[in-house]
Chain A
Amino acid sequence: MIAVREPHTTSDLSRLDEAWAAPETFAIVPDKSPIDGDALVSAAQLLPVELRHDHFIMMTSGSTGEPKLVIGNRERAAALARVLHARQDSEAVRETIAMLPLSYTFAFVNQWVWARVLERRFVQTGGLANASTLRAALTSARNAMVCLVGAQVPLLLDAFPDDAFPGVIRIHFAGGRFPQERLGDVSRLFPCADVFNNYGCAEAMPRLTIRRASDAGVAEHVGWPLPGVELRCDAADAMFFRSAFGAVGVIEGGVFRSISSEDWVATGDLGQQSADGAWRLLGRAGDVFKRHGEKVSPLVLLEAATSAWRGGLACYRDVDAFGEPGCVLTLSPPPDADSVRRLLGAVRRHLRRAQWPLRIECVDTMPLLPSGKPDVQAIGSAPSRRVLWKQYL
């Protein structure tokens, strides 16, 4: 098996091009991989012989935080790229600018595979870690597409307070909460872009549904299944998919598990389908919990908070003095007193008391994962963390 380090610039891409063209299965190794080279070779030994060629392997932290290897099929990924191209009305798009690591399945399939299959230009940037290079790439963009996670929006506004990038005509969000309330800001930065909300998971490799931003008014509305994708939920609202494009196997905890095209696979989310066939997320399956007997979803709390707070936002679990679980809301940058009052007003208007956060805290800078999502594990040890409001429980 070939191991390919994730590329950081367009000139780094030749190794990935070679790996895709070679018959042998390859793995994209993130910079800060929890799996070293030896472990990767050992894991590759678990692959059935038929998966040792024409496939690729992505690494993900998995819903449990334990590293997981997800095996994709190159033909399936290429077929999904063509479906996305049609559903995203992308014929006019000439290039794509990568602002996320290519070890992230979203960027790899929606951008790199898409560019390769549809013969478009692919531009790799270091993202916001190198803002001047990113600004240059976005400024020189012509009929470009970008893929973002919602947490990047406040960072982009902070990095480019006076810029607009009219050369970007498509923006796809995935991998986190869709920034429905920030679409005005997105439009200010990218005035000529059509915006889409994409939903999926690593095992879907990676897309399941899509909608245009203008098709709904709430972030949790993730749109309609792509052609070739089926979705259902069980009595507890847990969502499952079956996809013609999904991963063919997973290696987790030293065990290989095959995924056939007939298998229903859990997405890890809770959801409901509406009469028009669209899906609405209710929360992460592992995140929804009971507090004083009432169901609590961090997603609902974040939805309420974003109606009153436009900065960075994260939510993590803790327990109160009685041992009951609850959510802690973390803001960044630190808000002024009026902003905290507005936020508390939104909490009171939109949420029952069981859903109120245990605390509202702030940090100077939100710690982020390489994917751009808030690193909730790191928030607890952030030196600038301080409590702005708390429940007396």
Chain B
Amino acid sequence: MTNKDRLRALLQDVFLLTDGEFRFDLKREDVDTWDSFGVVSLAVGVQQTFGYHFTPEEASGLTGVADIIAVLESHGIRFDD
């Protein structure tokens, strides 16, 4: 499983997104379940899946899936596989 697959599965579980709803260019405002609880859940899920713990500022400042990838890549987690 690639990191993209892992991230996709994680985000579908955290935000209860269907296969058809998920896209890598999704914005936070596109996802009704990306609420304050969702931010916390996403941070815990990323930590458990990728071993990186978002700072509170990073977690609350995410504007979409692309931001998640950018933060993780900046910490050495590659998504070009």
Contacts and interface: CB of A to CB of B under 8 A. Distances in A.
Given A341-B18, A392-B45, A353 B33 contact: yes
B16 A347 contact: yes
B13 A348 contact: no
A321 B18 contact: no
B44 A389 contact: no
B14 A392 contact: yes
Contacts of A356: 16
13 contacts: A341-B18, A348-B16, A348-B33, A353-B33, A353-B37, A354-B37, A356-B16, A389-B13, A391-B41, A392-B10, A392-B45, A392-B48, A393-B41
B40 interface: yes
Nearest to B14: A392
Q: Which of B16, B18, B37, B45 has the most CB of A within 10 A?
A: B16
A292 B38 CA distance: 13
Nearest to A393: B41
Contact of A345 (B14, B18, B37, B48): B18
A344 interface: yes
Interface residues of B: mostly helix, strand, loop or mixed? Answer: helix
Contacts of B10: 392
Interface in A73-117: none
A344 B44 contact: no
A249 B37 CA distance: 47
| Most chain A Cβ neighbours within 10 Å, of B33, B35, B42 | B33
Interface in A263-301: 292
Contacts of A347: 16
A392 B33 contact: no
A378 to B, nearest CB: 28
Contacts of B45: 392
Nearest to B13: A389
Contacts of A345: 16, 18
Interface string B19-43: 0000000000000010101101110
A342 B20 CA distance: 13
Contacts of A354: 37
Given A344-B16, A345-B16, A345-B18, A392 B37 contact: no
Contacts of B18: 341, 345
Contacts of B42: 392
Contacts of B44: 321, 392-393
Contacts of A389: 13
A393 B41 CA distance: 5
Given A321-B44, A354-B37, A390-B13, 10 more contacts: A341-B18, A345-B18, A347-B16, A353-B35, A392-B13, A392-B41, A392-B42, A392-B45, A393-B37, A393-B40
- Give 4 closest A-B pairs by Cβ, nearest first: A392-B45, A348-B16, A392-B44, A353-B37
B20 to A, nearest CB: 11
Nearest to B15: A348
A88 B54 CA distance: 61
Interface string A344-379: 110110000110100000000000000000000000
B69 to A, nearest CB: 18
Nearest to B46: A392
Given A345-B18, A392-B48, A353 B13 contact: no
Contact of B37 (A292, A344, A390): A292
A353 B39 CA distance: 12
A356 B40 CA distance: 14
Nearest to A344: B16
A231 B37 CA distance: 38
Contacts of B14: 391-392
Question: Which of B13, B35, B37, B40 counts the most A-chain CB atoms under 10 A from its CB?
Answer: B37
Interface string A291-333: 0100000000000000000000000000001000000000000
A345 to B, nearest CB: 7
A392 B44 CA distance: 6
Contacts of A391: 14, 41
